[in-house]
Structure 1
Amino acid sequence: MATSSVSTGCFVFKPKDSKKRRKSVPADFFNKDNAISESDRWRFSTYESLWQQMKEETESLQDSLNEKIFDSLLTFIKNSHIQLDLKENDWSYRMRCSEIPTAAVVLGVNVPDHEMTFQRLSDLLKQSLTPHVVCLHGKECTTVKQVLQKVLMHLLGGTANDEDAEEEDVHHSTPLSQRKIHCSMASLSGWYKAISQTSVSGSPSKKRKSCVVGQEQAPPIVIIFKDLESFLPEVLQNFIIICSNYIQQLPLVLVFGIATSPITIHRMLPRAVCSLLCIELFQSLSCSDHLTTVIDKLVLTTKFPFKLSGRVLQVLTVIFLYHDFSVKNFVKGFQLSLLEHFYSQPLSFLCCTLDEANDRIQNLAHGECELIRQVPTFMRYVDSQDSENQIELLTNDQYLKDDVQKLLKDLHIYHKNYFPVLKCLHILTSSLPKYPLGKQIRELYIACLEKNIWETEEYSSAFQLLGMMANDELVCLLQKCIDVLKSSMQQKPLTDIMQKLEEFLSKFQKLDDIAVKMEDKEGDEDHKMSPEKSLQKRTDLYELQKTLMELKKSRRSKKLSRFEVLRMEVLEFMDKLVRQYLLPPETQPLHEVVYFSAASTIRRHLNAAPRTALQAALSKPYNYLKNEAVRSKEGAITNTAPDICIVYKLHLECGRLINLYDWLQAFVTVVTAAEGQDPDKMSNGQVDQVLHARFIRAVSELEFLGFIKPTKRKTDHVTRLTWGGF
């Protein structure tokens, strides 16, 4: 019987189909019908090419943002064991050789991004500095033995197939998984001594004197602790003490990945252990600044035609600010929005460059022209035309194609003018007190997408504060606006705006001391004949009242200075630009082609409610199983449902404390009724063992899901943790 399963087998012979099945391609999922049209292939290919461009842009951006800290880390690791200027009998030399070079890298609380950062750092180290790089996770290293195993596994396993190691010793040529090695630093020291002797000038007889030789002769061993806070303090302390005893033989370098604060090192390690480390601090770019740069490169640009609506961008931003601070997850959410747009919008194949869109429009079929006619903004555009154009747009496909090309071109021009003016408005308002229009440009952009920004109270208060700005501050802001317009793509409206701002800037610069003296001189002449002088003369009550009225009137009609007049002209000009170019996207025909607005879909995917989904699955299993046998009326308990669903619905009828015996009896009653058995039929008053086991398993699953928990208040009772059903 022990070997009966060897001779008993089940073999599957698939029949040979005369007609080979067509392999499904990813483009098939973009069409809900069986037939695949040319537009479906366009949608999928456009999505792939667009996302590839965005992915390359984000990767290059992340590399450029981390370039400074990576260069500093590489320099630190390279020079960590090079002490050519110190003598061996020097006290500082002996003290430095007894310390382990340690880089404390503060990356912030955006933990999901740390993996990508350390992976990039590991790749750079292996490419330019040393092949001996080990990355450790706290959950995998709960003991010192596990830490040593991970280190030896990465280092010795990576060189198991090297030709030099094979020639030197057969013991080193076998894979680590096929041989037993004593996990200790002595084994690592012997391995490193062997490979260093063979790598120095190609002569094994040349021994390495110390760990402070040149970089080409002794590449360091870098051990990266990706999540320092997750390591047990005792394990970390013991490992550091062991490493300090071998620092004269091994050029070890430790890299601590810190999410909170550098003080974490001193909280985890006592002073005696910290004295064994030579720590240097490295600070990465804040995740908020990183997100601002990503939004500027992916969203606030005309390089990519795909755009997010205000609500979708707000959902992604809220998840970033209130959940994980992860730029990586923000980019994933952006990718999901891109995929949902191309999947749900049939006209998304026009979300491409202007030249490609014009070529595709000319090849549109009649059904696709009808889809364009059903777009809400295009219907409003048709209603705004005269009767002749309306008839042509609704009946003539070629006339429709020509008009759609014009509308998409206008939408492209709208974006080219939108973002430079938006950045200029942000420059003017981002330094105001209390930030009425937001401190970050993403806040201003969301507000401009949702409604007319000039109709809000925040906009009015912002321009009131700008009306009190000093000369030098306003000149500095105007210069920044000119720089933004210069960096944008040159076209007719932007060049005119830039020239107008340069004129204002030159006028401000001409407000010199001569003009101020002329105003003072005119003010003195007016002061001589002012009503205040007439108050000093002797007069009657009527003349005094008349003089006071003239004085009050003159103060009300105070003459504005040349600077105030010019400042008012600048603000009026900027207000005109905002009203002209920062219109919401809903005002543009066919904006649905490039804008994704399904915020509820993104929120459901990225910010899911697991308890609601669990309750829905347990209350209505038909929605997931698609089996007619488990379909039931609202509130009824189906006896053919899975055991956990039956137990869940029975527990909804109980109070805070649930009697397990009563619960079991109710479960047996429901299940035996489904199987056509008598629920009262028991052997010696005991429940069938199979039913009892099924009940225990279902209750254990409910406990695992967090619906109940054991209690000590009553015997054979459990506590209910949730109230109500789905």
Structure 2
Amino acid sequence: MTTSSVSKGCFVFKPSSKKKKTTSLKASDYFHDGKADSQNSESRFETCQSLWQRMKAETERVQEDLNTKILDSLLEFARKSTASFQSKTDDWASRMRASEIPTAALVLGVNVPDHAMTFQSLSALLQESVTPYVVCLQSKECSALKQVLQKVLVQLMGHSVSVEDDDDEEDQPGPPPAGIPSRKMLCSMATLCGWYTAVTQKSASPSPGKKRLSSSKGCGQRPPVVVIFKDLESFTPRVLQEFIVISSRYIQQIPLIFIFGIATSPITIHGMLPHSVSSLLCIQLFQSLSCTQHLATVIDKLVLTTTFPFKLSGKVLQVLISIFLYHDFSVRNFIKGLQLSLLDHFYSQPLSVLCCDKQEARSRAKELSHEDCENIRQLPSFMRYVEKQEPEIQVQLLTSDQRVKDVTQSLLKELHAYHKNYYPVLRCLHALTSSLPKYPLGKQIRELHGICLEKNVWETEEYESAFQLLRMLAKDELVAALRTCTEILKCAKKLGDAVEKLEEFIERFELLDRCSAVVETGQEGEEELLPQKGLQKKTDLFQLQKSLLERESRRTKKLSKFELLRLAVLDCIDSIVKKHLLPPESQPLHEVFYYSSAGTLRRHLNAAPRTAIQTALNNPYCYLQSEALKSEGGAISNAAPDICIVYKLHLECGRLINLYDWLEAYATVVAAAEGKDPDSTAAAQLDDVKHARFIRAVSELEFLGFIKPTKQKTDHVARLTWGGC
């Protein structure tokens, strides 16, 4: 199946008559790693798939809800622009306005990977309710004006369009009839206008016996053509200017609407377009929701909820948030990281078969195999649970599988109850501390959740400083925060006692507020008399200062009723926090629900390409897993790929590498791989194949940035790196 000729030619290879028998593997087969327990692996795969489908549906619903406002505004803008096209006005101002191209400047933010979903939803909504003619352009496909026109024509007409230059393209005949799609046409605005006129006339006058073709709801007889520039900053300014100028000349013949997708700032438009071009546009600004608010909503719906049993540990959540904050601000990539965590958890944890809803988990716990029971006994959290039991119970848990199944059911029930109480109390604490100065427990709830996952939150300095600030809250602020906490805690059935206590405190605050007016009036009268009596006895400054300090010390020792009540309610909240905000690691069997392999996740999502390349070149066995590639220390395996041999040989050289010496060393190693004596004369001779392989390997090293040509010596290359790994 190979040829030795490198000249031009046509080589025909007939397919083999013998069909190779291939064994098809199901996706669930990869979950058991060749073990015999295939039923467990299938259950884990099905649970993982079902859980991800639910999470994906929730993600899409959140995305639609967040984009509803901005998309509705854009649709209204498109409808108004369509109405202005179809209305016939005679006044001069309206005619000047109609000569401009309606343009929506959509500021989406720097989270570029998320823009595709927004534009996809926008395009679908426009085609559904405004116009069937929607074009989406990307800068990488529109490096020249001809390519822009070609993309517009192809997406609208679906024909093959010629991109050859033609100076007389304005004089070319119009488009072919709609029934001849195979004919090639020149890419020009005149062609587009001719096609648009033919299509609109055909839809306006249907054949007898047929309904008029209505391409979209409410678009009228002349629906507009919407052109979406997905990444405006990446377009060539000259190309964009020329397209806008040409489009403005045809605005009376074909209604056009532009939508600019902007990642940075609206000022970009004025930086790319001069005034003579921007004056041809009627620009309206639209601002989308920030990516941080989008992330907060996604975390609230997918992570801080009891709807989905799968959970993230503190370190894993920190890895995902760090990638979001310091790399791309992409919520889409955050969700992909969540999906990878889910998949790896169900793949690597055999007991993840119990990571499902409460009733399903209890039924599966009754059917655990002996191997599953042994896996449960080896869990660190279960071992700590066994150590706290009585000796007799310890023996039963270590010897009886039925006892393990019964205890597993009760522990899973307690773990689900723990989650139902944890999240309301977490939101309650966040509502109290999110408005404090300097945000000691974080401004976002994800920050507080990360602290609670790692340690006892009440043992941290941030918690102590937050409660010191809460002890200085005014009455109105404290009562408002307590009302918010009461509404949050009402969603948890087992927190009814806490809700009753907080409501009782609110009633006492209201009662104290009604009675405070009379008491404060009497206290003010007493305070006015005290300084006068002191001044009558002693008039020197030292005695006056001493008496004021004594009075202040007496006042601080005696707390008011409000201060006592405030301390009592904060003590109540502190007790609720200590009872329900325990770290997940304190709960037995938390490994079933929580994914904690932060290193694996970071290695997949935040890879270091330089380290990976050097590892592959220095030790190809790490990736190829071939026994012939194993070598000791810095030895060079003669069975390694050419680039690995050349790379290891270049490590033995200095700053400048002689190409001929490098080639001789390479030929010696390759001769050993071919079974020849490296010291023989035949092995030392270079043939064209070895020479070509060497040149290719050197070129690959140059492409990877390890070497570069140098002008100091023509037969040398300069080394750009030092060291092996």
1:608 lines up with 2:607 in the alignment: yes
1:11 lines up with 2:10 in the alignment: no
3-state SS of paired residue (2:185): coil
Task: Kindly indicate whether the alpha-carbon contact (under 8 Å) linking 2:85 and 2:255 is maintained by their aligned counterparts in 1.
Answer: no
* Bigger shift: residues 470-479 or 430-439: 470-479
Question: Could you say which residue in structure 2 is the equivalent of 1:518?
Answer: 519
2:368 counterpart (364, 368, 372): 364
The one-letter code matched in structure 2 to 1:30 is F
Question: Could you say which residue in structure 1 is the equivalent of 2:387?
Answer: 383
1:31 lines up with 2:32 in the alignment: yes
Distance 1:659 1:556, change over 3 A: farther
Cα distance between partner residues in 2 of 1:574 and 1:158: 69
Task: Kindly indicate whether the alpha-carbon contact (under 8 Å) linking 2:431 and 2:481 is maintained by their aligned counterparts in 1.
Answer: yes
The one-letter code matched in structure 2 to 1:604 is R
Q: Which runs of 5+ in 2 are unaligned?
A: 162-173, 209-216
| Shift, 1:659, TM fit | 2.9
* Bigger shift: residues 23-32 or 656-665: 656-665
Cα distance between partner residues in 2 of 1:4 and 1:188: 42
1:96 lines up with 2:102 in the alignment: no
The one-letter code matched in structure 2 to 1:108 is G
| Shift, 1:552, TM fit | 5.9
**Which string of whole-angstrom CA distances, capped at 9 and with x for unpartnered residues, describes residues 16-69 of structure 1?**
x8xxx8742211111012424322221111111110000000000000000011
1:191-270 matches, within 5 Å, as 191-202=195-206, 215-270=219-274
2:355 counterpart (351, 357, 360): 351
3-state SS of paired residue (2:125): helix
**Which string of whole-angstrom CA distances, capped at 9 and with x for unpartnered residues, describes residues 468-509 of structure 1?**
1112222222222223223x2x4132x222222222222222
Cα distance between partner residues in 1 of 2:300 and 2:391: 43
Question: Could you say which residue in structure 2 is the equivalent of 1:304?
Answer: 308
1:477-496 matches, within 5 Å, as 477-486=481-490, 488=491, 490-493=492-495, 495-496=496-497
1:593 lines up with 2:595 in the alignment: no
* Bigger shift: residues 709-718 or 120-129: 709-718
| Shift, 1:599, TM fit | 0.4
Question: Could you say which residue in structure 2 is the equivalent of 1:187?
Answer: 191
Cα distance between partner residues in 1 of 2:244 and 2:472: 60
Question: Could you say which residue in structure 2 is the equivalent of 1:650?
Answer: 649
| Shift, 1:560, TM fit | 1.4
| Shift, 1:393, TM fit | 1.9
The one-letter code matched in structure 1 to 2:566 is R
Distance 1:250 1:682, change over 3 A: farther
Cα distance between partner residues in 2 of 1:679 and 1:126: 75
Cα distance between partner residues in 2 of 1:169 and 1:32: 61
TM-score by length of 2: 0.90
The one-letter code matched in structure 2 to 1:378 is F
Task: Kindly indicate whether the alpha-carbon contact (under 8 Å) linking 1:668 and 1:679 is maintained by their aligned counterparts in 2.
Answer: no
Cα distance between partner residues in 2 of 1:672 and 1:469: 83
Cα distance between partner residues in 2 of 1:531 and 1:121: 73
Cα distance between partner residues in 2 of 1:434 and 1:406: 42
Cα distance between partner residues in 2 of 1:716 and 1:110: 48
Question: Could you say which residue in structure 2 is the equivalent of 1:562?
Answer: 561
Task: Kindly indicate whether the alpha-carbon contact (under 8 Å) linking 1:377 and 1:588 is maintained by their aligned counterparts in 2.
Answer: yes
Distance 1:430 1:724, change over 3 A: same
Identity %: 62
| Shift, 1:699, TM fit | 0.9
**Which string of whole-angstrom CA distances, capped at 9 and with x for unpartnered residues, describes residues 351-371 of structure 1?**
100110111111222222222
| Shift, 1:559, TM fit | 1.9
Question: Could you say which residue in structure 2 is the equivalent of 1:165?
Answer: none
Cα distance between partner residues in 1 of 2:469 and 2:44: 48
CA RMSD of aligned residues (A): 3.0
Distance 1:556 1:137, change over 3 A: same
Q: Which runs of 5+ in 1 are unaligned?
A: 161-167, 205-212
2:378 counterpart (357, 374, 377): 374
The one-letter code matched in structure 1 to 2:666 is F
1:293 counterpart (294, 297, 318): 297
Distance 1:648 1:101, change over 3 A: same
Task: Kindly indicate whether the alpha-carbon contact (under 8 Å) linking 1:531 and 1:550 is maintained by their aligned counterparts in 2.
Answer: no
Task: Kindly indicate whether the alpha-carbon contact (under 8 Å) linking 2:84 and 2:98 is maintained by their aligned counterparts in 1.
Answer: no
Distance 1:14 1:577, change over 3 A: same
The one-letter code matched in structure 1 to 2:639 is T
Cα distance between partner residues in 2 of 1:301 and 1:10: 56
| Shift, 1:401, TM fit | 1.8
| Shift, 1:601, TM fit | 0.6
Task: Kindly indicate whether the alpha-carbon contact (under 8 Å) linking 1:140 and 1:146 is maintained by their aligned counterparts in 2.
Answer: yes
Distance 1:89 1:538, change over 3 A: closer
**Which string of whole-angstrom CA distances, capped at 9 and with x for unpartnered residues, describes residues 441-470 of structure 1?**
111100110001111111111111111111
Cα distance between partner residues in 2 of 1:286 and 1:256: 18
Cα distance between partner residues in 2 of 1:501 and 1:346: 43
**Which string of whole-angstrom CA distances, capped at 9 and with x for unpartnered residues, describes residues 581-605 of structure 1?**
1100010000000000000010010
* Bigger shift: residues 121-130 or 451-460: 121-130
**Which string of whole-angstrom CA distances, capped at 9 and with x for unpartnered residues, describes residues 632-652 of structure 1?**
111112223211011111111
1:464 counterpart (458, 468, 475): 468
Question: Could you say which residue in structure 2 is the equivalent of 1:476?
Answer: 480
Question: Could you say which residue in structure 2 is the equivalent of 1:149?
Answer: 150
1:508-547 matches, within 5 Å, as 508-512=509-513, 514-522=515-523, 524-525=525-526, 533=533, 536-537=536-537
Question: Could you say which residue in structure 2 is the equivalent of 1:210?
Answer: none
Cα distance between partner residues in 2 of 1:316 and 1:241: 45
Cα distance between partner residues in 2 of 1:505 and 1:233: 63
Task: Kindly indicate whether the alpha-carbon contact (under 8 Å) linking 1:708 and 1:721 is maintained by their aligned counterparts in 2.
Answer: yes
The one-letter code matched in structure 1 to 2:455 is K
Question: Could you say which residue in structure 2 is the equivalent of 1:697?
Answer: 696
Cα distance between partner residues in 2 of 1:470 and 1:39: 57
The one-letter code matched in structure 2 to 1:264 is T
Task: Kindly indicate whether the alpha-carbon contact (under 8 Å) linking 1:639 and 1:670 is maintained by their aligned counterparts in 2.
Answer: yes
Cα distance between partner residues in 2 of 1:253 and 1:439: 41
Task: Kindly indicate whether the alpha-carbon contact (under 8 Å) linking 1:531 and 1:548 is maintained by their aligned counterparts in 2.
Answer: no
Task: Kindly indicate whether the alpha-carbon contact (under 8 Å) linking 1:125 and 1:133 is maintained by their aligned counterparts in 2.
Answer: yes
Task: Kindly indicate whether the alpha-carbon contact (under 8 Å) linking 2:669 and 2:678 is maintained by their aligned counterparts in 1.
Answer: no
Cα distance between partner residues in 1 of 2:562 and 2:37: 66
* Bigger shift: residues 656-665 or 6-15: 6-15
Task: Kindly indicate whether the alpha-carbon contact (under 8 Å) linking 1:531 and 1:551 is maintained by their aligned counterparts in 2.
Answer: no
The one-letter code matched in structure 1 to 2:640 is A
The one-letter code matched in structure 1 to 2:446 is R
| Shift, 1:570, TM fit | 1.7
| Shift, 1:436, TM fit | 1.1
Cα distance between partner residues in 2 of 1:70 and 1:508: 46
The one-letter code matched in structure 1 to 2:146 is K
Question: Could you say which residue in structure 2 is the equivalent of 1:717?
Answer: 716
Distance 1:642 1:461, change over 3 A: same
Distance 1:169 1:150, change over 3 A: closer
1:172 lines up with 2:178 in the alignment: yes
The one-letter code matched in structure 1 to 2:630 is R
3-state SS of paired residue (1:254): strand
| Shift, 1:405, TM fit | 1.1
Distance 1:82 1:198, change over 3 A: same
* Bigger shift: residues 341-350 or 369-378: 369-378
1:329 lines up with 2:333 in the alignment: yes
* Bigger shift: residues 217-226 or 659-668: 659-668
**Which string of whole-angstrom CA distances, capped at 9 and with x for unpartnered residues, describes residues 369-389 of structure 1?**
222122111111111111222
| Shift, 1:677, TM fit | 5.8
Task: Kindly indicate whether the alpha-carbon contact (under 8 Å) linking 1:197 and 1:203 is maintained by their aligned counterparts in 2.
Answer: no
| Shift, 1:658, TM fit | 2.6
Task: Kindly indicate whether the alpha-carbon contact (under 8 Å) linking 1:532 and 1:551 is maintained by their aligned counterparts in 2.
Answer: no
3-state SS of paired residue (1:172): coil
3-state SS of paired residue (1:724): coil
The one-letter code matched in structure 1 to 2:504 is E
1:669 lines up with 2:668 in the alignment: yes
1:424 counterpart (425, 428, 431): 428
The one-letter code matched in structure 1 to 2:403 is Y
1:426-445 matches, within 5 Å, as 426-445=430-449
Q: How many residues of Structure 1 are paired with residues of Structure 2 in the alignment?
A: 697
Question: Could you say which residue in structure 1 is the equivalent of 2:171?
Answer: none
